[in-house]
Structure 1
Amino acid sequence: ARGMCSGLASFRTYSVMIALDGLVRVALAGAFLVVGIDRVGPYALMVALVPLAIAVTVFATGRMSSDDGSPATWGELAPNLGWLLVGTLFAGALINAGPLTVDILGASSDPAQVTRFANAVLLARVPLFLFQAVQAAMLPRLTRLAALRDAAEFRAVLQRLFVLVGGVGIVGVVGAFAVGPWVLELVYEGGIDRRTITLLAFSSAVYMLAQACAQSVLSMSGHVLVAIGWVLSFATFAATAAWSSDDLYLRVEVALITSALVALAVFAVGLRAYFARLASTSRS
């Protein structure tokens, strides 16, 4: 539903869906806490059902209606959907891999270590939530420019996108270094040092840049390359986390950074190849 809102340039509906998703989840979690629900099941169902209910409501109101486009067969859609699914799964696995890896590698350690690391990851991810708005606005425009083969405007939009995403990432890293430990102490009673929260924020910044690159490659029908990039990125994470360091937190932090850098490099190569191909076509 959010993808349709983005494609139809219905950004008000898109923002309402995201806002309601967060507000309703927080309200229901508070209600569960007040009535004394302490089992995981109800919370898990709530997290899964709230966005579904919001999407169904949006469809029921007719906000997703649009004119019929040109017909497309399943034979045209299935390959790209398959590659898109692979890329989405591995990108999602990568963003959630940190706390799980700390839990697996630190099986004999204090369970509180996993909780403290997960709290730090949540704080370091704050810029990623801002990226959702950028992603919704930019992808349809990049897709249109790619279809028109307007390389100059595509490059200009891409530069503005990277400046915006890079700026948000820098603010996140500086903020994590300056006040991250204090915020963690205030909200979660601390437990994480400045190095850890700063490296986690840096990994989130690189991941955002990789996502921005991936969206640009997708707009050029580069579904296969995006899937390959995220698969290679996840493989890099697994290898780095397994052998990079004896420090539990540091090995995961380094793995998150290197895996995001690998994804960014793969997608940057794809963008470079696209512009080179477009330039050679225009010369001929």
Structure 2
Amino acid sequence: MDRLARMRTRLSGAAVVGVGMLLLGAAAYVFLALAGHALDPQGFTAVSSVYFVVAIVGPGLFVAVEQAANREVSARQAAGHGIGPVVRSASQVAAGLAVVVAAALLLLSPVLVDRVFAGSWALLVAVVVSVVGAAAVYTLRGLYAGARRFGWYSATLGAEGLGRLLPCAALVLAGAAEPVLFGFAFVVGAGFAALVTVAGMRGHTGADLPSPPVDRRGLGREVGLLATASGLTLLVANLAPVVVASRLVTDAATAAAFASLFVLARTPLFLFGPVQALLIPGLSAAAAAGDRGSLRRQTGIALGLVGVVGGLGILAAWIGGSWAAQTFFDAPVPIAGGYAAALCAGTLGMMAAQILQAVLVALRASRTATLAWAVGTALYVPILFLPLPPVLAATIAQVVAPAVVVALMLVGVRSGARKLTAPALLAG
């Protein structure tokens, strides 16, 4: 009965988070569509560049704060402790990361402004503003996910989507056609989400419970490791079409068709981010209790579901991947179904790696996750440039690198699980 109740709780949490994620994802696509119709090509290119840079800063870096805070809160609640020290330490670590990221953007400003933002320093300021918002909202998401308060977690997603979409729609209705206005309309979403959902923390830090201090330096090191892993994940997830295009300068049609097929194959990965937020609390509780059986069951169920969904996706891609690319993205030439199926297999590997990374976070083995992605990336990049047809080389790279990452993570999970012979101690 307890197991059935836990399953219902997880399914309801997944449904609630899914609603927020769909709203956030839809807002991004609608924003790009509205900006594309309102701006000239140069202005739209600059604004779309803001979109991509913000995506790297948020999901690419500050998700590390979310994961680390999620794990700490989950472990403390399982031990019956208050989470006040986690709130303070995670906020401080996020602020420190924001300073580092903002400084890096300023150092790169001559290149970014001249070549990416069409000479607009205001758009660079907009991206720096997005850093502050990302630091705040991803910290809140980690706290809410760790406490299994998925309604508030979903609210941060939905509020970020609305905070982007409504200002952009207002600009279109007002007939505005300034790239800077659209840039700021997009970046204020994260900050808006943090402001309207921070109230959910009031009275829920467990002030009346014992609250051991957090090892802030240890938390900062973990965030650094997870940020590195996330950055390498983004590299493996997005570099192939760029390399293929650079190697097929005289065959733009094939390069465009591969990019369309690649985007389709990667679609499940774009919607997979919150899955880690759902997994980490239960995994962290099992790890804190030294419950290897529960850890193994949760991991097996998650991997099994991904395997089933991924297997169906591979079959569908083999049969209709090329047709879908030509129908939905107007791909100029067809590409054999085997390539589509292989790219989906690579996506399946990356989803499995994200699940295993959540397990490693719960086991306090973030270093292993980062090492696995580093090794996978070290193999991935050279394979892209093998003296083979560019599309074939890129497809091989997309299959091999995630497979290596998964294999290394499995070794790390087994090693970490074997050490769970007694309740784990809290950091600090």
TM-score (norm 2): 0.58
* Structure 1 residues 10-49: aligned runs within 5 Å: 14-39=17-42, 40-46=45-51, 48=54
Q: Deviations over 1:206-245 (max 9, x none)?
A: 12112211211111011111110000000010222233x5
In 2 relative to 1, CA 222–248 (structure 1 residues): closer, same or farther, beyond 3 Å? same
**Cα drift, residue 167 of structure 1:** 1.1
**Cα drift, residue 261 of structure 1:** 0.9
Aligned position for 2:256: 115
SS at match of 1:125: helix
Contact 1:58/1:64, CA 8 A, preserved across alignment: no
Letter in 1 for 2:194: F
Alignment of 1:212 onto 2:360:
no
Alignment of 1:124 onto 2:265:
yes
Aligned position for 1:234: 377
Aligned position for 1:67: 205
Letter in 2 for 1:45: V
Contact 1:213/1:267, CA 8 A, preserved across alignment: yes
Which one has a bigger Cα radius of gyration? 2
Contact 1:119/1:188, CA 8 A, preserved across alignment: yes
Alignment of 1:163 onto 2:304:
yes
Query: What residue ranges of structure 2 are gaps of 5+ in the alignment?
Result: 1-11, 55-129, 131-163, 165-185, 424-428
Letter in 2 for 1:118: A
For 1:169 and 1:33, the matched residues in 2 are separated by: 33
For 1:35 and 1:277, the matched residues in 2 are separated by: 58
**Cα drift, residue 82 of structure 1:** 1.6
For 2:271 and 2:21, the matched residues in 1 are separated by: 11
For 1:206 and 1:157, the matched residues in 2 are separated by: 18
Contact 1:127/1:168, CA 8 A, preserved across alignment: no
Query: What residue ranges of structure 1 are gaps of 5+ in the alignment?
Result: 1-8
Alignment of 1:58 onto 2:199:
no
Alignment of 1:145 onto 2:283:
no
Contact 2:380/2:397, CA 8 A, preserved across alignment: yes
For 1:189 and 1:30, the matched residues in 2 are separated by: 17
For 2:349 and 2:218, the matched residues in 1 are separated by: 33
In 2 relative to 1, CA 19–215 (structure 1 residues): closer, same or farther, beyond 3 Å? same
Aligned position for 1:199: 342
Contact 1:200/1:253, CA 8 A, preserved across alignment: yes
**Cα drift, residue 205 of structure 1:** 0.9
State percent identity of aligned pairs. Answer: 21
Structure 1 stretch displaced more, 48-57 or 191-200: 48-57
Query: Aligned-residue CA RMSD in angstroms?
Result: 2.5
Contact 1:139/1:215, CA 8 A, preserved across alignment: yes
Q: 1:250 aligns with which of 372, 387, 392?
A: 392
Aligned length: 271
Aligned position for 1:4: none
Contact 2:291/2:420, CA 8 A, preserved across alignment: no
In 2 relative to 1, CA 156–10 (structure 1 residues): closer, same or farther, beyond 3 Å? closer
**Cα drift, residue 168 of structure 1:** 1.4
